[in-house]
A and B are shown apart, each in its own frame.
Chain A
Amino acid sequence: KAGVTQTPRYLIKTRGQQVTLSCSPISGHRSVSWYQQTPGQGLQFLFEYFSETQRNKGNFPGRFSGRQFSNSRSEMNVSTLELGDSALYLCASSPLSGNPYEQYFGPGTRLTVT
């Protein structure tokens, strides 16, 4: 099976702009989670989608949003970008939502906000 794919791999945006990142999960996986990784805060959970519904959400401001389509592909959107949003954004898929919660990660999208 093909792994989790994320596009684009690298992105440079200006403060105040918005950005949309895309994630295609492993075929058959219905759960998609998003994480933000920064040197200072480490890996932080953003949200999880399962069957097009947001199942869980981390402690991020409303500028961070996401959605999942019927084919399980997911997008996350960040509006009004801030310098602190520069990070590696990781998407992970899982066959099911719940226990056990083994995640398969994509290569990430490196977002730089200038």
Chain B
Amino acid sequence: SQQGEEDPQALSIQEGENATMNCSYKTSINNLQWYRQNSGRGLVHLILIRSNEREKHSGRLRVTLDTSKKSSSLLITASRAADTASYFCATDFQGAQKLVFGQGTRLTINP
């Protein structure tokens, strides 16, 4: 399967702590994106990193991409209760105009 794998499947931390989620994929990509989904709702785009980029920041989000290891990580700093959601990585592979999503990481921020 081309589907990415995310690690961990679930993560529970205290408010104010940092949360790190990882994503691995199998084939060469054009871009990698991270999305957030609140329970049973649509996905919200967080950040896109291109295959020739290694790190990108957006507010409290930091994404890294290591194409040699075919992996990416999403770091959320100073977590808040509102960050409780599922987080998905999505890749569009070279030669395929579609997004392939990982299984997601369920993040719970405890007050």
Contact = CB atoms under 8 A, between A and B. Distances in A.
Contacts of A90: 42-43
Nearest to A100: B31
A55 B88 CA distance: 24
A42 B31 contact: no
A26 interface: no
A48 B97 contact: yes
A100 B51 CA distance: 11
Interface in B7-64: 30-31, 33, 35, 40-45, 48, 50
A29 to B, nearest CB: 13
Contacts of A48: 97-98
A9 to B, nearest CB: 10
Contacts, number: 66
A104 B88 contact: no
B104 A107 contact: no
Contacts of A105: 35, 42-45
A42 B99 CA distance: 13
A56 B43 contact: no
Contacts of A103: 33, 43, 45, 90, 99
Interface residues of B, number: 25
Contact of A106 (B42, B50, B98): B42
A22 interface: no
A4 B42 contact: yes
B100 interface: yes
A102 B34 CA distance: 10
Interface string A30-68: 000101000000111100100000011010000000000
Contacts of B87: none
A43 B101 contact: yes
B10 to A, nearest CB: 13
B99 A108 contact: no
A57 to B, nearest CB: 9
